Amino acid sequence: MHGPYTEAHELFRAQVRTFAEKELRPHVDAWERDELFPRWVFERAGALGILGAHYPEDVGGGGGDFWFSVAKSEELPRCGASGVTMGLLVQSDMATPVIADLGTREQKEEFLRPALEGKRIAALGVSEPEAGSDVAAMRTVARKVGGDWVVRGSKTYITNGTRADFITLLVKTDPDAGHAGISILLFPTDVKGFSVGKKLPKAGNWSSDTAELFFDDCRVPERCLLGEPGRGFYYLMQNFQSERLIGCTSALAGSRYALERSVEYGRQRVAFGKPILKRDYWQQKFAELYTKYEAAHALTYRAADAYNREKYVARAGISLDTARLVSMAKAFVGDVTGEIIDQCLQFHGGMGYIEEGWVARAWRDQRLFRIGGGTTEVMRYAIAKLLGL
């Protein structure tokens, strides 16, 4: 590759960096304590064009390609709290791409445009108490009654769930058809019968809200069906490719910042008469970590290049070869960034384990990446399947 970024990408990158460092970072400690960041963050990101830079102009986006989203995901972690980054990325890259791909003009105007403007908060409703990676095991059903869909069931671990204005919701419209019985509804949360069970406390990503949701015979209009009935699982698998890639680029950016801050700390921290970075062990360790970072970064960018060419240049579906690269990146980046953050904490010693420092937050926040969007184990199963093993 000869570099995917143009001057327009770099100007956008600088804008996102300023937003993260100047408008978000001063507040993240308070948001972590509150376990929620305020709604104005969505609205401000929308007003700046950050949420929709890689969406078509006719739905309120900037008309850019996938590399705009990559640049955004690499700069948002500079705010210093992965919970804020995750909430914004769910809004822009997880709950909404499938609407741009499949939505009618009316659906895009009702749901997508206000989401990109930050005026309506979006969530992605997939996981259930008995169905995480095994999507086909979901029990939330939607049955046709007259001109409405009647939804009954529950979802859990839903980011933005306590305050979402709508949910891109996976349901079973044919409970006996397995994967072929799954559909997607654009579900407004102001309907009768919908409720938020509770906000779930988490080990990390404190500033994002994660909720369990309940649907007690909720009626939504027939027009809320997204795409064709029974094709939801296929749509979700396509949607997962961008979600996993953006997760990779965001996690890698966070690990790179952790390396840079740790190296600077090591130049200043003196133990046994000299800076700890001058110890041979840590020089060897950081050389190894930087090398693994570069390998993970290269694999991720290769997958992102393939995805961009298929989705934005060829305007085609995502190939199995690209899905293989994305799955490889998701598994490898999870292992590499986990090791990087863990070693950065070790490097800081007792200070790294204290909540007043940045390292402990980065350590507990990073751990989610090996679970969310497809566990590392499921990714390796997918890789084996795509390799014909």
pLDDT band at residue 133 using 50, 70 and 90 as cut-offs: confident
Helix axes 82-89, 358-366, angle to 10 degrees: 40
Decide if 1 is inside a domain: no
- Domain match, 110 and 137 both: no
Measure the CA–CA gap between 206 and 29, rounded to whole angstroms: 10
Flag whether pLDDT at 317 surpasses 90.
no
CB of 142 closer than 8 Å to CB of 109? no
- The rounded mean pLDDT for the chain is 95
- Please identify which residue in the block is written with the tokens 């008309």: 63
Flag whether pLDDT at 62 surpasses 70.
yes
The residue among 226, 261, 289 that closes a domain is 226
Decide if 54 is inside a domain: yes
pLDDT of residue 3: 67
- Domain match, 280 and 238 both: yes
pLDDT of residue 316: 87
The residue among 120, 136, 153 that closes a domain is 120
Share of the chain above pLDDT 90, in %: 93
Decide if 2 is inside a domain: no
Non-local (6+) Cβ contacts of 109 within 8 A are: 59
177-203 tens-digit pLDDT:
888 999 999 999 999 999 999 899 999
CB of 92 closer than 8 Å to CB of 116? yes
pLDDT of residue 131: 81
First to last CA, the chain: 29
- Domain match, 291 and 338 both: yes
Flag whether pLDDT at 266 surpasses 90.
yes
pLDDT of residue 135: 81
Task: List the structure tokens of 119.
Answer: 């005026």
pLDDT band at residue 269 using 50, 70 and 90 as cut-offs: very high
Full residue range of the structural domain in which residue 267 is found: 232-386
Flag whether pLDDT at 343 surpasses 50.
yes
Decide if 158 is inside a domain: yes
357-368 tens-digit pLDDT:
899 999 999 999
- Please identify which residue in the block is written with the tokens 């209009």: 221
Measure the CA–CA gap between 161 and 149, rounded to whole angstroms: 21
**Which burial class, exposed, middle or buried, applies to 2 when counting CB atoms under 10 A from its CB (0-12, 13-18, 19+)?**
exposed
Rounded to a whole number, what is the largest CA-CA distance in the chain? 79
DSSP 101-170: HH--HHHIIIIIHHHHTTSS-EEEE--BTTBSS-GGG---EEEEETTEEEEEEEEEEEETTTT-SEEEEE
For residue 222, what is the domain's CATH number?
Answer: 2.40.110.10
For residue 42, what is the domain's CATH number?
Answer: 1.10.540.10
Decide if 249 is inside a domain: yes
Least confident of 80-89, 135-144, 159-168, 200-209: 135-144
- Domain match, 375 and 273 both: yes
Measure the CA–CA gap between 155 and 132, rounded to whole angstroms: 10
- Domain match, 238 and 378 both: yes
Phi, psi of 270 (to 5 degrees): -105, 130
Flag whether pLDDT at 161 surpasses 50.
yes
Flag whether pLDDT at 2 surpasses 60.
no
- Domain match, 300 and 193 both: no
How far is residue 95 from each of residues 22, 207, 263, measured CA to CA in Å? Answer: 27, 19, 37
Task: List the structure tokens of 157.
Answer: 């671990």
- Domain match, 37 and 135 both: no
3-state SS, 234-246, equals HHHHHHHHHHHHH
Please give the average per-residue pLDDT across 255-279, as a whole number: 96
- Domain match, 245 and 222 both: no
Please give the average per-residue pLDDT across 316-344, as a whole number: 97
How far is residue 277 from each of residues 246, 251, 263, 287, 294, measured CA to CA in Å? Answer: 32, 24, 7, 11, 20
Question: Does residue 253 sit in helix, strand or coil?
Answer: helix
- Domain match, 213 and 333 both: no
pLDDT of residue 142: 97
pLDDT band at residue 17 using 50, 70 and 90 as cut-offs: very high
pLDDT of residue 1: 43
CB of 184 closer than 8 Å to CB of 138? no
> What total of structural domains would you count in the chain?
3
pTM score of the predicted model: 0.95
Helix axes 232-268, 320-348, angle to 10 degrees: 30
Decide if 132 is inside a domain: yes
Measure the CA–CA gap between 145 and 221, rounded to whole angstroms: 10
DSSP percent split of the chain into helix, strand, coil, nearest 5: 60, 15, 25
For residue 243, what is the domain's CATH number?
Answer: 1.20.140.10
Measure the CA–CA gap between 69 and 217, rounded to whole angstroms: 37
Non-local (6+) Cβ contacts of 122 within 8 A are: 90, 91, 95, 96, 111, 115, 160, 164, 165, 166, 167, 168
Decide if 208 is inside a domain: yes
From the list 243, 264, 288, 310, the catalytic residue is: 243
The residue among 226, 242, 275 that closes a domain is 226
Flag whether pLDDT at 137 surpasses 90.
no
Q: Which of 226, 152, 154, 222 is nearest to 185 (CA)?
A: 226
Question: Does residue 217 sit in helix, strand or coil?
Answer: strand
- Domain match, 260 and 333 both: yes
- Domain match, 91 and 166 both: no
Neighbours of 316 (CB within 10 A): 10
Question: Which amino acid would we find at residue 369?
Answer: F
- Domain match, 236 and 381 both: yes
> Would residue 130 show up in a list of annotated catalytic residues for this protein?
no
